[in-house]
Copies of this chain bind each other. A is one copy, B any other.
């Protein structure tokens, strides 16, 4: 064995020791949530611990909108849909007089929203279906590469929560497999989650439309159809988890009542479990909203979470840094 190789091994070892000594969650204040997370991870990973969980069963699931990245003033996927309607309008002259497109093109969002679920579905289907999966992936990739937040001007992919990036990395360093389980479109997230969160496409669970395999001029494609396949929200989240993962998580995190059933399912399992709720309480650095919000409404979780043993993060007090750009 050559000396240089031993040196490489030595530096790797020293690096590992240094990493172990460093705080894995530097953007979390030293308050109850951080302490509870670290205690949980130590209890389930320490050899000989009564709560030890083997590596393959260390499944962690997190909501995306409002949990890993911001969701105000409107879900970012809806910004995408609005943008697509504007881009596609030239090919759809009929939209000038057809709702909800006419109002959307005039910028009258109030009237668009008054159309309710039916209007939303029209907008989603006309912008998310009718192309191949490869074409859609490219549209999303191109859009997300440059799209900026309407209020802060930062890239949407910079509107992610630094403490949650640290939590994901900390869990993975401890043998956890991290998954996204979001009400958002699975194909809207997959093109960028690996780069932004370190979560590969096969670990993203979300809502979906139906697709169809076909061979066009000798070239196989998967076509996106204007038909709902699965809504990964509320009671749909445990179902989505079961379909995709087939194993109950031991830690789950969310921020709205849409995540209630995911946390309920996770924490009802045997052995030590962890339920995490991000409560948006910081109207200076982020936004403050909960029970009365149309987006990310958190009501039942606030009432029942504490007595179910779930940890509630108060963003204002528990997070030293919220967005990565605050460090710059």
Q: At the interface, yes or no: A165 with Cβ under 8 Å from chain B?
A: no
CB distance from A211 to the nearest CB of B (A): 5
CB distance from A268 to the nearest CB of B (A): 5
Q: At the interface, yes or no: A194 with Cβ under 8 Å from chain B?
A: yes
**Bitwise interface map of A from 29 to 68 toward B, beta carbon under 8 Å scored 1, else 0:** 0000000000000000000000000001001000000000
Q: How many angstroms between the C-alpha atoms of A35 and B122 in the bound complex? A: 53
Which of A194, A208, A238, A243 is most buried by chain B, counting CB atoms within 10 A of its CB? A243
Choose among B13, B213, B247, B265 the residue that contacts A265 (Cβ–Cβ < 8 A).
B213
Known: A1-B13, A220-B261, A246-B201. A211 touches B190 (CB 8 A): no
Contact A211 B56 (CB under 8 A): no
Q: At the interface, yes or no: A314 with Cβ under 8 Å from chain B?
A: no
Q: How many angstroms between the C-alpha atoms of A247 and B244 in the bound complex? A: 14
Classify the interface of chain A: helix, strand, loop or mixed.
helix
Q: Which of A216-247 contact B (CB under 8 A)?
A: 219-220, 222, 235-236, 238-239, 242-247
A6: B residues at CB distance < 8 A: 6
Q: At the interface, yes or no: A186 with Cβ under 8 Å from chain B?
A: yes
Q: How many angstroms between the C-alpha atoms of A178 and B316 in the bound complex? A: 43
Q: How many angstroms between the C-alpha atoms of A218 and B264 in the bound complex? A: 10
A246: B residues at CB distance < 8 A: 186-187, 190, 201-202, 204
Known: A202-B244, A220-B261. A194 touches B239 (CB 8 A): no
Question: Could you jot down 8 A-B contacts, CB within 8 Å?
Answer: A9-B9, A56-B194, A186-B243, A201-B246, A202-B246, A220-B238, A220-B264, A220-B268
| Oligomeric state, in copies | 2
Q: How many angstroms between the C-alpha atoms of A213 and B264 in the bound complex? A: 11
Which of A133, A203, A204, A222 is most buried by chain B, counting CB atoms within 10 A of its CB? A222
Contact B238 A222 (CB under 8 A): yes
Q: How many angstroms between the C-alpha atoms of A59 and B268 in the bound complex? A: 33
Contact B133 A219 (CB under 8 A): no
Contact A264 B215 (CB under 8 A): yes
CB closest residue in chain B, given A5: B13
Known: A202-B247, A204-B246. A219 touches B10 (CB 8 A): no
CB distance from A245 to the nearest CB of B (A): 5
